[in-house]
């Protein structure tokens, strides 16, 4: 299982500082972007900042925002390798905006991950996950804030999607720690996105290594 550290901060300076804490320890980092509308919390949100740093890790950006199609191209044109788009922000499973975002991602040679809140059923969006290369992120908490308690209901969602579409790569985000990460892996998730357990630790490197050791 892959562990992806998640950074949710209000300004770029803090984002950059946390990146440096885990650089060299992981292949991927997730940068959380909230607009204060889709969520109740506003974060750093400037894709141009990514051009100003040289990183030895891949970046994905989790867009927890309204109207994500309006800024998707700016993020896809940045050094980020992929973006996570919340399906709830696109009105309905039939929205043409899904295809527009995928088209833009392909133009830049990037990937799109489809994000689902804990209460959102994936089945109405089955056309998105039928693609053998599809990636999905299930939230185990409410979007926009770190430090929340893990909702075990996400485990059944993982099992359900994995059984129906075994090729889909599933990530789980929110409330993951040393006590529950093995359950997440055993349910079928390919990666765990972890924020507060790592960065609220007095030693982020040790915290990250403990998670990795737990799921080897």
DSSP symbols for the chain: -EEEEEE--SSHHHHHHHHHHHBTTBSEEEEEEEBSSSSS-B----GGGGGG---SSEEEEEEESSSTHHHHHHHHTSS-SEEEEEGGGGSSTT-THHHHHHHHHHHTT-EEEEEE-TT--SGGGHHHH-STT-EEEEESS-TT-SSPPP-THHHHHHHHHHHH-TTSEEEEESS--TTTHHHHHHHT-SEEEESHHHHTSS-HHHHHHHHHHHT-
Closest CA to 70 of 34, 110, 100, 106: 100
What are 24-51's pLDDT values in tens digits? 999 999 999 999 999 999 999 999 999 9
pLDDT reported for residue 94: 83
Q: What is the pLDDT of residue 190?
A: 97
What distance in Å separates the CA atoms of residue 138 and residue 171, rounded to the nearest whole number? 6
Q: Which of 105, 62, 88 is nearest to 191 (CA)?
A: 62
Mean pLDDT over residues 177-192, rounded?
97
Q: How many independent structural domains does the chain possess?
A: 1
Predicted local confidence at residue 212, as pLDDT: 96
Rounded to whole angstroms, how far apart are CA atoms 148 and 145?
7
Average the pLDDT over 57-63 and give the result: 96
Judged against a pLDDT cut of 90, whether residue 114 lies above it is answered with yes
Contact 211, 194 (CB under 8 A): yes
User: Domain containing 57: what range?
Assistant: 2-214
Tokens describing residue 97: 């905006």
- Contact in structure between 169 and 135 (CB atoms under 8 Å): yes
pTM: 0.95
pLDDT > 90: percent of the chain: 88
Q: Is 63 in contact with 31 (CB distance < 8 Å)?
A: no
Q: What mean pLDDT do residues 172-186 have?
A: 97
CATH of the domain at 96: 3.20.20.70
């Amino acid at each position: 299982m892959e562990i992806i550290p998640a950074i949710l901060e209000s300004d770029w300076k803090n984002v950059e500082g946390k990146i440096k804490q885990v650089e060299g320890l992981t292949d991927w980092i997730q940068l959380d972007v909230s607009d204060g509308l889709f969520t109740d919390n506003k974060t750093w949100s400037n894709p141009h900042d990514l051009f100003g740093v040289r990183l030895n890790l891949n970046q994905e950006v989790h867009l927890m925002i309204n109207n994500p199609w309006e800024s998707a191209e700016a993020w896809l044109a940045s050094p980020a390798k992929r973006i996570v788009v919340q399906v709830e922000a696109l009105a309905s499973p039939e929205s043409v905006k899904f295809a527009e975002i995928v088209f833009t991602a392909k133009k830049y040679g990037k990937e799109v991950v489809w994000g689902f809140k804990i209460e959102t059923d994936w089945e109405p969006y089955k056309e998105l996950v039928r693609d053998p290369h599809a990636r999905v992120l299930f939230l185990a908490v409410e979007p926009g804030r770190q430090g929340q308690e893990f909702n075990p209901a996400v485990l059944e969602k993982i099992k359900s999607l994995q059984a129906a579409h075994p090729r889909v790569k599933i990530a789980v985000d929110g409330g993951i720690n040393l006590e529950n990460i093995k359950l997440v892996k055993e349910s079928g998730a390919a990666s765990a996105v972890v924020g507060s357990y790592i960065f609220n630790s007095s030693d982020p490197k040790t915290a990250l290594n403990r998670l990795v050791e737990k799921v080897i």
